[in-house]
């Protein structure tokens, strides 16, 4: 059972909204009765850092480091009632246990992430310890869909690699492979049937693509009836039938390794695979090897998510000439991040309203 949140309360902001969105977000949290303590580690702008420091308590720690996160939540024994983040921080069972331990002035009861997923959070431990989790699914659907289509078009038309060749003075390499493929008249397969996949389907159809979709077991024929695409029953059927395949499923035990060596071999020669979902869904090593083998599945890929991200970025795809890389930026448009921030503050407000007298 989720515990009530006492007001006024304390909220640890692991990473505030970016740029000019940070102060309105912090003001909104303060307006709910939550006093922010702001981590400045990912705030690059010196002016913004100074302005935040002038108004709020600040700290500086690596939110991706489990021990540092746990120590920040304990905060000298004072503790926090709530946590807000954007990134996939390691909110493990051990971190949650320390943040809710007896002896802290305040125990953690609410965690919010301004993003759609929470796969780096131990949801089971949170439930056992009475910590509510709030996310913002769908807030960045349009942004992710836009980048997905951009990556699809780049893979088909070779925009980035032709630009690189021209900058290096290699006109011959720039025109090599012409004429290119086209989304018009192609079969676009979507693995996943959520808000992002639906928007990709709409955009794909606007380009003249035929859309096929494979969803979860809940994506029944009845639910697919009003969908902008044709439902297929299996992943294997979709992979074998499509010229372009785009992945849009969350990271779960069921989707881990969903696309590996054997399924990549089912894809059409010359086909394209795009992953803007989660790195665990597509085996990076298997994809790297498939792209380098002209007889094994896709010939081009575009990837926005990786097993090792941030300053320590590493991937077998990093030197693969047949793969376009993007730094997990699909949902990072100003409008999408503003909407995510707004929705998360609203979710916090709703939680406080449901908490009863202790939360008011």
Beta partners for 300? 272
Residue 140's Cβ-side half-sphere holds a number of Cα atoms within 13 Å equal to 27
Q: What Rg value do the Cα atoms of the chain yield, rounded?
A: 22
Angstrom distance (rounded) from CA 213 to CA 209: 13
What is the pTM for the complete model shown? 0.90
Pairing of strands 300-303, 272-275: parallel
SS (H, E, C) the chain: CCCCCCCCEEEEECCCCCHHHHHHHHHHHHHCCEEEEEECCCCCCHHHHHHHHHHCEEECCCCCCHHHHHHHHHHHHCCCCEEEECCCCCECHHHHHHHCCCCCCCCCCEEEECCCCCCCECHHHHHHCCCEEECCCCCCHHHHHHHHHHHHHHHHHCHHHHHHHHHCCCHHHHHCCCCCCCCCCCEEEEECCCHHHHHHHHHHHHCCCEEEEECCCCCCHHHHCCCCCEECCCHHHHHHHCCEEEECCCCCCCCCCCECHHHHCCCCCCCEEEECCCHHHECHHHHHHHHHCCCCCCCEEEECCCCECHHHCECCCCCCCCEEECCCCCCCCHHHHHHHHHHHHHHHHHHHHHCCHHHC
Each residue's pLDDT expressed in tens, for the chain with a length of 360 residues: 556 787 899 999 999 999 999 999 999 999 999 999 999 999 999 999 999 999 999 999 999 999 999 999 998 889 999 999 999 999 999 999 999 998 899 999 999 999 988 999 999 999 999 999 999 999 999 999 999 999 999 999 999 999 999 999 999 999 999 999 999 999 999 999 999 999 999 999 999 999 999 999 899 999 999 899 999 999 999 999 999 999 999 999 999 999 999 999 999 999 999 999 999 999 999 999 999 998 888 999 999 999 999 888 999 999 999 999 999 999 999 999 999 999 999 999 999 987 544 443
Contact between 105 and 30 (Cβ < 8 Å): no
Structure tokens at 50: 């100074």
CB 279 within 8 A of CB 306: yes
What gap in Å lies between CA 111 and CA 130, rounded to an integer? 11
pLDDT at 131: 97
Distance CA 110, CA 132 (A): 5
Looking at residue 3, its pLDDT comes to 64
pLDDT for residue 230: 96
Return the C-alpha torsion angle 200, 286, 154, 231, nearest 10: -20
Beta bridge partners of 133: 111
> Which residues are marked as active site?
278, 309, 328
Cα–Cα distance measured from residue 304 to residue 327, given in angstroms and rounded to the nearest whole number: 6
């Amino acid at each position: 059972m989720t515990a009530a949140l006492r007001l006024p309360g304390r909220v640890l902001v692991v990473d505030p909204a970016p740029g000019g969105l940070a102060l309105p977000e912090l003001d909104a949290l303060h307006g709910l009765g939550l006093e922010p303590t702001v981590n400045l580690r990912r705030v690059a702008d010196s002016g913004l850092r100074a302005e935040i420091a002038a108004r709020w308590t600040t700290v500086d720690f690596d939110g991706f480091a489990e021990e540092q996160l746990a120590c920040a939540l304990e905060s000298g024994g004072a503790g926090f009632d709530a946590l807000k983040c954007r990134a996939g921080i390691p909110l493990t069972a051990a971190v949650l246990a320390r943040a809710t331990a007896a002896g802290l002035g305040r125990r953690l009861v609410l965690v919010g992430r301004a993003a759609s997923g929470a796969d780096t959070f131990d949801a089971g431990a949170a439930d056992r310890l009475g910590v509510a989790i709030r996310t913002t699914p769908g807030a960045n659907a349009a942004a992710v869909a836009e980048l997905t289509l951009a990556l699809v078009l780049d893979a088909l038309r070779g925009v980035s690699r032709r630009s690189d060749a021209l900058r290096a003075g290699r006109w011959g390499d720039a025109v090599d492979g012409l004429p290119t493929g086209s989304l018009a008249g192609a079969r676009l397969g979507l693995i996943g049937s959520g808000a992002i996949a639906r928007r990709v389907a709409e955009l794909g159809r606007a380009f003249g693509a035929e859309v096929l979709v494979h969803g979860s077991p809940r994506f029944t024929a009845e639910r697919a009836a009003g969908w902008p695409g044709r439902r297929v029953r299996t992943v294997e059927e979709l992979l074998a039938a499509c010229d372009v395949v785009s992945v849009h499923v969350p990271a779960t035990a069921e989707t881990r390794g969903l696309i590996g060596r054997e399924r990549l071999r089912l894809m059409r020669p010359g086909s394209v695979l795009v992953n803007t979902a989660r790195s665990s869904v597509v085996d990076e090593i298997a994809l790297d090897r498939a792209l380098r083998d002209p007889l094994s599945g896709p010939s081009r890929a575009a990837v926005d998510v990786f097993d090792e991200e941030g300053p320590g970025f590493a991937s077998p795809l990093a030197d693969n000439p047949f793969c376009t890389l993007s730094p997990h930026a699909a949902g990072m448009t100003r409008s999408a991040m503003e909407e995510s921030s707004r929705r998360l503050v609203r979710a916090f407000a709703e939680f406080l309203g449901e908490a009863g007298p202790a939360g008011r």
